[in-house]
Structure 1
Amino acid sequence: MAPRDPADSVHQAPTSSFTDHLTRHRPELLPSSRSLGPSSHGSAAELAPQATTIVSLTYAGGVLMAGDRRATMGNMIASRHIKKVFPADNYSVLGIAGTAGLALDMIRLFQVELEHYEKIEGTPMSLDGKSNRLAAMVRSNLPLALQGLAVVPLFAGFDTQHRAGRLFSYDVTGGRYEEYEHHSVGSGSVFARGALKKLWQPNLDEEDAVRVAVEALYDAADDDSATGGPDMVRRLWPVVYVVNSAGNREIPERELQQLSRDLISRRTAAGLEA
């Protein structure tokens, strides 16, 4: 049996970056390494389902992120049940807008990246480290973004060092920007941001923060056909996560259902009075 070559990369010391590990050994598994190939059915951007509106805002003691449930493909609704907000680890969450398939792969890779780092280093990655690592992943997707398959995430988490919730936005080149109050991405982001500007206040409590997020998504759905509002028939509500010193927590559907019903009742009453 031939002796192992010490230069063999398989036997090198493990790297704390799972993405770097894949780049060395199985680069074809990375989302950014996919080859589109020719298509006779139109551009990939037209054929790929698109995830739409995500909102995020800070509140007293933490940060919140929420997303609607609709994905579109051109002028068609591709899905009414998609989830766009996910926990990245115990103290951070990630929301995606853009090409749904690539975005979901990026989320899974980012989750493994953070878990792998903690196992190798014996300590969780800092919030700044997480946001920078996500920026590198977005940047690696730039060749596909230039072909219309962009992924634009929102990242939020509780900074255990500064004891505060923080929020980061990105552009398709991997540019990272810290937002200090609220932000939104996706096709309905302009309308959601307008609502957030009027509804957000410093030091909101958690209950009011959830209400503001639900109302911002409702306003986005009112003007953007790619954003799905609360669906009373199918009993579909936004996905909402809060992150604070206790970690991340998904808001139960029963609470979101009641908030949505109250919102629609208020809007209906205001319309009748007008």
Structure 2
Amino acid sequence: MTEGLKGTTTVGIVCKDGVVLAADRRASLGNMVLSENVTKIFQIDEHLALAGAGSVGDILGLVRRLRAEARLYRARVGKEMSVKALATLTANVLHGGRGYAYYAWFLVGGYDEKPGLYSIDSAGGVTADRFTAAGSGMEFAFSILEENYRDDLSVDGGIKLALKAIKVATRRDVFTGGGVTLVTITKEGYREWSEEELRAFLE
């Protein structure tokens, strides 16, 4: 991930029984590949996650803050923060830091009473989405999502669609590559799939 929104592709999909978040694992600086094993999706609470496209330092700083706020909210209120509340908090942090901008674009996904997904730009603009993508390969990912998404998609179908979108972005965008991180969030909670599990699933 480089400055701005280059160097990655992240995808989010709302399914009838959960949310799927996926991202490539390549980190780049200009035209140089720094790593093929970078995590870009982070658990915030039991049913909440955030994916980031952009500056590694900014993403990790925001993740630490959101995790602390989520723990504080649970301690004060006695329940987990909703997906919308996490998206609003993220937007407020980003908007409040405009003098010191976060060079990143974020996807917030989770499951409270139902699955939810929000896209949040670096200035704090929030959009609720059924499917979305961010990063340097987002145009290629969107072409797959728009053609194949449907409202009755199951999590299993969402996994296949997210992997297809990342695969196309990897093939067409030079800044996207490495392996794939894929997370599902259902009423059972947060689950990160290993590459072995994904290979077995696709077989």
User: Do the two structures share a fold, i.e. TM-score over 0.5?
Assistant: yes
8 Å contact kept, 1:238–1:256? no
Cα offset, 1:87, TM superposition: 1.1
Which of 162, 166, 191 aligns to 2:116? It is 166
Query: Does 1:197 find its partner at 2:197?
Result: no
5 Å matches for 1:41-190?
45=3, 52-145=8-101, 150-160=103-113, 164-179=114-129, 181-190=130-139
Task: Give the structure 2 partner of residue 3 of structure 1.
Answer: none
Q: Which has the larger radius of gyration?
A: 1
Which amino acid letter does the alignment assign opposite residue 10 of structure 2?
Answer: I
Moved over 6 A (4+): none
The number of residues matched between the two structures is 202
Question: What does the per-residue CA deviation read over 1:152-174, in whole Å, with 9 as the maximum and x for residues that have no partner?
Answer: 110011122xxx21110112210
CA distance in 2 between partners of 1:124 and 1:220 (Å): 34
Say which structure, 1 or 2, has more relative contact order (CA 8 Å, 6+ apart).
2
Which amino acid letter does the alignment assign opposite residue 122 of structure 2?
Answer: V
* Identity of matched residues, %: 29
Question: Structure 2: any 5+ residue segments left out of the alignment?
Answer: none
RMSD: 2.1
Query: Does 1:226 find its partner at 2:175?
Result: yes
Which of 228, 248, 261 aligns to 2:190? It is 248
Which amino acid letter does the alignment assign opposite residue 193 of structure 1?
Answer: F
SS of corresponding position for 1:177: strand
Question: What does the per-residue CA deviation read over 1:246-274, in whole Å, with 9 as the maximum and x for residues that have no partner?
Answer: 111112321223467x6xxxxxxxxxxxx
8 Å contact kept, 1:187–1:224? yes
Cα offset, 1:132, TM superposition: 0.6
SS of corresponding position for 2:42: strand
TM-score scaled by length of structure 1? 0.69
8 Å contact kept, 1:138–1:152? no
TM-score scaled by length of structure 2? 0.91
Query: Does 1:216 find its partner at 2:165?
Result: yes
